[in-house]
Structure 1
Amino acid sequence: MLWCALLPSLSTSDTAAPPTEAVVAQRALAVWALQFTPRVALADEAVLMELAASVRLFGGPRALRERVQAEAHALGVERLAWAPNGLAALALARAGIENGLRSPLAERLDPLPMDTLSAVLAHRLTLEHIGCRTLGDVCALPRSGLARRFDPQLLQAFDQAYGRLPEAHEWVALPEHFEERLELMARVEQAPALVFGAQRLLRVLSGWLAARRAGVTAFTLHWAHDAMRSRAAGEGCAITIRTAEPTRDTTHLCRLLSEHLARVQLLAPVGDLRLVATEVHPLHDVSASLLPDTVRQGEKLGLVLERLAARLGAQRVLRPVLCEDHRPEWMCRWQPADQALPRKGAPGTELPQPGFVLPQPLKLLVRDHRPLYGGELVLLVGPQRVEGGWWDRVEDEDRMHNVVRDYWVALSPEAGVLWVFQTRLDGAPAWFLHGRFA
């Protein structure tokens, strides 16, 4: 068995009910821990994880310990410890001893103070009066005398901590929706500084998403103004961040949030943050390579576009998107780069498609029923009938974008290979130039 005990910085050292902020911090830490194992429990002020079944999944015990330690400290964990069972890990964490796996468990637990085990606290004064100072001193007392003079929970706790009895825990359930809050250590007056507190919430969000095998395409950061604010400032405000694809990359989400907050001006000092995942979608992880990656990979284009859109504005960074439409003018549209791409593309076509399409088709002169453009055109390939648009209404007009055309690949003596079409709906069919081949 492999257990890890995590003690948040906002925790209490006694069995009394912890303050609200400590409860919130403990609950957020438990949600984050669910990405490593479903066997997560709350024990007094700590969070316990049973990780034996997760060692291979996360690359071995050393890699798992290093990752848990690095991410836990970033979430404000003051102390953590590893042991063969949960109560032993909790006792070691309270004593500031990190590794309880290198030597026999009794050698690690015997020197610890009595208050490292919660069941001892109710009988601490009595045990001190008879000369007990450590857990080992209590274990050295006659077992029959302990059973007569103290409640059975004391012996049960010692047996469980020393591995003689199995433990029973109530596992934390993964919430269906993500919403976490954080009270800032100091009041923040500049919006960009909010990212430092939001980063902690985003790490918890990343853990929740990993446990759900999902990614987020939109999340909202709410902030509450200080109670001493002016009445005109209001209670608070919020900002929603969107991504083109589902992701749980904390670094990328922090960068996006930072770019957006750089353009926000706070109306009053902020003391409280709340993060809500508003759009969550399944995320299929890509299998890692068996070979080491010797070539440094640059940042993906989609991530770069999202950062540029956050900095310059959504309407200033656009990307082309293929649409399911046979009409060339509507086969492609431009949308903000931070919006999700549609899953379907344009329909297949029979003729080669030009590299350059004119914004508006250019009507051609006709001589003896032959179109002219830099000379008489020679029709090479075609026709391809394109018909559609009866459903597409022109804005502010009582007509549709309905077209019936025959497209040809044509050769001009001076302009080269062109893309032309002949209309079929008009009373007098006409020829138009619509594109050029590079």
Structure 2
Amino acid sequence: MPPEPFVVAEATGQKRLVLCASYAAAAAGVAQGQTVALAQASVPGLTVLEADREADAASLARLAVWALRYTPLVAPDGRDGLVLDTTGADHLAGGEAALLSDLLTRLRKAKLSVRGALSSSHTLSWALARFGTGTDGPGRIVPPGGEEEAAAPLPVAALGMTPAQGSALRRLGLDRIGEVAAAPRSSLALRFGPDLTGRLDRLHARMPEPLTPIEAPELIRARLRLAEPIAHQAGIEAALERLTDELCAALVRRGLGVRILDLHYRRVDGEVQILRARAAASSRDPIHLRRLFKESLETIDPGFGIERLDLVAVRTGRLEARQRVTGEENPPPLEPLIDRIGARVGPGHVYRVAPTEADLPERSCRRTGPLAAPAILVWDRGPRPALLIEPPEPVEVLALLPDHPPRRFTWRGCQHQVTRADGPECMMAEWWRADEEVALTRDYYRVETQAGGRYWLFRARDEAAGTASWFVHGVFA
């Protein structure tokens, strides 16, 4: 996205009109529906991007599929919105407020400008999301029965009428929806037709609003119905072998591999339980997929027997081909090893450490996926200890002068006499993160003790308070 002001435009007849404007362009006076020529005249150097309706519709459709995580009833709402019927699904996310907050937070983390509202009326939610003041936190939630009060202060443009009808209402002195609702219905219907009164009824949740939801994409699955319930480990393993062979055959036909796999087993008492397995990379090797469930199969409680099993490919991806060199020794792939370790200790405990550009040692690395490409970062900050102590532990230090290196320090009840010291290496705190870090400074010393130990100590100075404290942050090999 260009940093300078920009607009998205589309040709309408002989004119090119502004469909939407960036925050910078809108602050400079560019408005939706304005001609591109007028916008460029008012904002010199304005960047104009051509609209791509097909790409926008495809992106909105993908977003609607993503939103199925909240409710099975999702549909695109015009060209720039989604409508979700969360009736009966709110409690799965912790309530209406938690669901709406989670939805908007995830979209904003994806760098999308988004507003939302939740009410008993689709039309009211549409109006609040587009014309509301946004003073109700992450999104406006209207309780049942509060539709009229919530809609009253909205402008008449929130009725979704044509610009000519909106201008006619304003000429009558009706600028807000509350004023339109207070006017005689017979006069409104006579002048503007039944569409206006019907819109008001839908806005106030007095009229049902049909929703045509999208169809969820079909998941690749394999199902096995058993003539007789099984309750022993050998039978479950045999059933899993049959399911993985069938599922992998379906994946081969589509040219896909699976990343997340769910095993649903239904007991004779009607209870359904799920085991989940994750792969570090897309795979369709049935033997490898069975190994992912090896540890968790022992946790299955079959009760009085299992009568049905489903193996579902929850997340799939294109299977990348690996080039093998003839006549040379090809190293075995790492994915099976990573998956076996992850199945034992949990997938979140297998990761790669990548460097980041940060002065403070505890922020100089981050966790990435176990198969992520090694980060290429030239960030030479001098020798660093093999063992980093996080968080740093306080020590008592004796120095000849306040600004001198330590001569003796006490750590974990043991006293250490320093024979050599190198430093200080000054590090400034990252002042842009928080106000309390503006005045913080660290002076790091590499010290060697009489016993041969080598430690990384630092003096934390608070320039504003005029205080200093010592900590040990690492141990050198």
Give me the TM-score of the superposition, normalised by structure 2.
Answer: 0.42
Q: TM-score, normalised by structure 1?
A: 0.46
Pick 1 or 2: higher relative contact order, CA cutoff 8 A, min separation 6. 1
Structure whose alpha-carbon radius of gyration is higher: 1
